[in-house]
């Protein structure tokens, strides 16, 4: 099975950390984020990982080399200009038919193989890993009809189903990516839906955190120990 990890961004929201390291090499409890994801891929049976690189690409390539240390094959696609999260997939060859695609800044206990197999079984063009979150509103929310107030709800909590930044993409979906210019995964999803292609989601209650800001990074380091055994199962053969 084939996994693609998108690690081409400059990580501007993670400054000052990313002045020195690409976001994918930021350590969680001493282990770089990308290292954690690669170990998970190997554990769940993926034998090939493609990393789409841009900012500080050489550091990532020097760290992982050909992937033999992790028991799988790692290759690289380097972007001279930002191509977006889907644009970077233009030149990916997926002989397996479908590939798991993920951002480099996710920390999760998602069972990658179950996610991949559900996508195959549902014959989807693209499957999104989804997670339920609660978003508190710090104001009184009004229900109105014209000028008339029907109800006020003080500081409600909204419940939403969000994308985890992890997908399984069928090879045929790549034909919808324009040959030039920046193109992101949401653009690809909108295009697939416009063309009536099958897009599904895989809901999970697994632990998940998107490390997009310094506060998220600090939180991930604080709680990693609690989920370490699930994120990095010892059965993978690695010592952590």
pLDDT for 101-159, tens place per residue? 999 889 999 999 999 999 999 999 999 999 998 888 889 999 998 888 889 999 988 88
Distance (Å, rounded) from C-alpha 166 to C-alpha 126?
11
- pLDDT for 110: 93
**How do residues 47-75 score in pLDDT, each as one tens digit?**
899 998 877 888 889 999 898 999 899 99
Task: Of 37, 32, 40, give the one whose Cα is nearest residue 51.
Answer: 37
* Segment among 17-21, 127-131, 168-172 with least mean pLDDT: 17-21
- pLDDT at position 181 is 81
**3-state SS, residue 168:** strand
Residue spans of the domains in the chain: they are 2-129+162-236
CATH fold group of domain 2-129+162-236: Spore Coat Polysaccharide Biosynthesis Protein SpsA; Chain A (3.90.550)
Global pTM?
A: 0.86
| DSSP of 15-58 | TTGGGTS-GGG-EETTEEHHHHHHHHHHHTT--EEEEEE-TTHH
235: pLDDT strictly greater than 70: no
**pLDDT exceeds cutoff 60 at 240:** no
Alpha-carbon distance of 41 to 111, in angstroms, equals: 10
pLDDT at 17: 65
Beta bridge partners of residue 77, listed in sequence order = 52
Return the minimum-mean-pLDDT range out of 11-20, 131-140, 194-203: 11-20
Q: What is the rounded distance in angstroms from the CA atom of residue 98 to the CA atom of residue 119? A: 9
In this predicted structure, the answer to whether residue 6 has a pLDDT above a threshold of 80 is yes
The reported pLDDT for the residue numbered 236 is 47
């Amino acid at each position: 099975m084939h996994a693609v990890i998108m690690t081409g961004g400059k990580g501007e929201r993670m400054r000052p950390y990313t002045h020195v390291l690409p976001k994918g090499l930021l350590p969680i409890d001493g282990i770089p984020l990308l290292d954690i994801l690669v170990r998970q891929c190997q554990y769940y049976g993926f034998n090939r990982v493609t990393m789409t690189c841009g900012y500080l690409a050489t550091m990532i390539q020097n760290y992982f080399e050909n992937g033999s240390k992790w028991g799988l094959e790692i290759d690289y696609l380097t972007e001279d200009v930002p191509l977006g999260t889907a644009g970077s997939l233009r030149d990916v060859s997926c002989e397996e038919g479908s590939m798991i695609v993920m951002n480099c800044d996710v920390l999760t206990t998602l069972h990658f193989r179950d996610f991949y197999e559900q996508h195959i079984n549902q014959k989807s063009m693209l499957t999104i890993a989804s997670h339920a979150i609660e978003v508190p509103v710090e104001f009184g929310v009004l229900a109105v009809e014209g000028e008339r107030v029907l109800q006020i709800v003080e500081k409600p909590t909204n419940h939403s189903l969000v994308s985890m930044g992890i997908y399984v993409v069928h090879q045929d979906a790549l034909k919808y990516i324009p040959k030039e210019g920046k193109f992101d995964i949401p653009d690809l999803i909108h295009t697939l839906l416009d063309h009536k292609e099958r897009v599904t989601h895989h809901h999970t209650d697994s632990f998940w955190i998107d490390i997009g800001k310094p506060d998220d990074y600090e939180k991930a380091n604080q709680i990693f120990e609690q989920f370490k055994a699930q994120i990095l199962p010892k059965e993978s053969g690695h010592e952590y």
